[in-house]
């Protein structure tokens, strides 16, 4: 297994060059770049859900559209066995070794993608709630010059099932309206990680996503606020998000998690994360 020292990126062609703070990580395997864009899947202990989702990716021929890279936060359930992933058309897997949760994983993945000169990065959760058939629409939007593509279950053509009531109300009544007002872009679905960014947006000094203040879920709200404020081209695309019956597969708790999201939202809209 190879490993990467994040400081090495300073001299790497195509890598970010300012405000770099990237958690230590390991390259579990890497089969080299074959596409213009990559699909990043952050996971931790998703079990059968990630395997079911990988099957769906292959059913929709996603590996022919983008290079699929998994960024693991420390899975211990055996679901990310290397031979299985290689047989399933996964191009690479990274494991975050440093501290932090989702935002730390994303910083690892963004840095790796920029180091390998991908023109755009699509991200999607690994818990099998999102419909991967929409990935081709994200690729087309990036091709058309959009810098930020956000999945939305609430725009015409989108659909959602079994969304927890607390999450639904938090998005519809607080999170999306407040971010829309603060950013100047009319968002409808602001908490989910199915989205895409152009590389030019991520390397902008005025954005600077590679900072240690982004450790939990801050980066999602921040980029939804910051990129429209800087007049990058943004769009929402209709997607389908299905929560299964019974226990909700999420790393965000109903009360504590939603309270943390609102707290992060307030800090974001007050400019606390701006460079």
Q: Mean pLDDT, the chain, as a whole number? A: 90
Asked whether the predicted pLDDT for residue 254 surpasses 70, the reply is no
| Total number of domains constituting the chain | 1
Which 3 state secondary structure label does DSSP give 219? helix
Report yes or no on 253 lying in a domain. Answer: yes
Report yes or no on 15 lying in a domain. Answer: yes
Residues 6 or more apart in contact with residue 70 via CB below 8 angstroms: 41, 42, 43, 80, 85, 90, 92, 93, 94, 126
User: What would the mean pLDDT of 49-63 be, rounded to a whole number?
Assistant: 97
φ, ψ of residue 160 in degrees (nearest 5): -145, 150
Report yes or no on 275 lying in a domain. Answer: no
pTM exceeds 0.75 for this model: yes
Q: Which two tokens stand for residue 244?
A: 């299964």
Q: What is the pLDDT of residue 7?
A: 38
Q: Give me the percent of the chain exceeding a pLDDT of 90.
A: 82
Report yes or no on 108 lying in a domain. Answer: yes
Asked whether the predicted pLDDT for residue 257 surpasses 70, the reply is no
Q: How confident is the model at residue 248 (pLDDT cuts 50, 70, 90)?
A: low
Asked whether the predicted pLDDT for residue 170 surpasses 90, the reply is no
Q: Which two tokens stand for residue 49?
A: 């859900």
CATH of the domain at 129: 3.90.550.10
Asked whether the predicted pLDDT for residue 255 surpasses 60, the reply is no
Indicate the burial class of 112 (C-beta count within 10 angstroms; 0-12, 13-18, 19 or more). Answer: buried
Domain holding 55, by residue range, is 2-269
Q: How confident is the model at residue 167 (pLDDT cuts 50, 70, 90)?
A: confident
Report yes or no on 157 lying in a domain. Answer: yes
The DSSP secondary-structure symbol of 188 reads S
Q: Which two tokens stand for residue 108?
A: 């690892």
Indicate the burial class of 205 (C-beta count within 10 angstroms; 0-12, 13-18, 19 or more). Answer: exposed
């Amino acid at each position: 297994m190879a490993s990467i020292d994040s400081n090495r990126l300073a001299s790497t062609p195509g890598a970010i060059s300012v405000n770099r703070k990237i958690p230590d990580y390991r390259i579990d395997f890497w089969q080299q770049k074959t596409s213009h864009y990559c699909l990043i899947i952050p996971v931790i202990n998703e079990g059968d859900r990630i395997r079911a989702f990988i099957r769906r990716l292959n059913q929709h021929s996603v590996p022919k559209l983008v290079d699929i890279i998994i960024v693991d936060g420390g899975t211990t359930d055996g679901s990310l066995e290397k031979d299985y992933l290689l047989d399933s058309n996964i191009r690479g897997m990274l494991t975050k070794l440093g501290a932090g949760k989702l935002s730390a994983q994303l910083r690892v993945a963004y840095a790796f993608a920029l180091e390998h000169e991908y023109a755009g990065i699509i991200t999607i959760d690994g818990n099998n709630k999102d419909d991967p058939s929409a990935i081709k629409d994200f690729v087309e939007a990036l091709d058309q010059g959009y810098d930020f593509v956000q999945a939305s279950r609430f725009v015409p053509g989108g659909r959602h099932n079994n969304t927890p009531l607390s999450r639904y109300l938090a998005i519809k009544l607080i999170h999306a309206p407040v971010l829309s007002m603060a950013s100047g872009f009319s968002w409808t679905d602001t908490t989910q990680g199915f989205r895409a960014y152009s590389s030019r947006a991520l390397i902008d000094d005025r954005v600077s996503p590679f900072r240690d203040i982004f450790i939990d879920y801050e980066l999602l709200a921040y980029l939804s606020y910051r990129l429209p404020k800087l007049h990058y081209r943004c769009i929402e695309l209709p997607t389908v998000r299905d929560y299964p019956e019974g226990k909700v597969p999420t790393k965000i708790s109903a009360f504590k998690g939603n309270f943390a999201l609102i707290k992060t939202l307030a800090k974001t809209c007050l400019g606390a994360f701006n460079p």
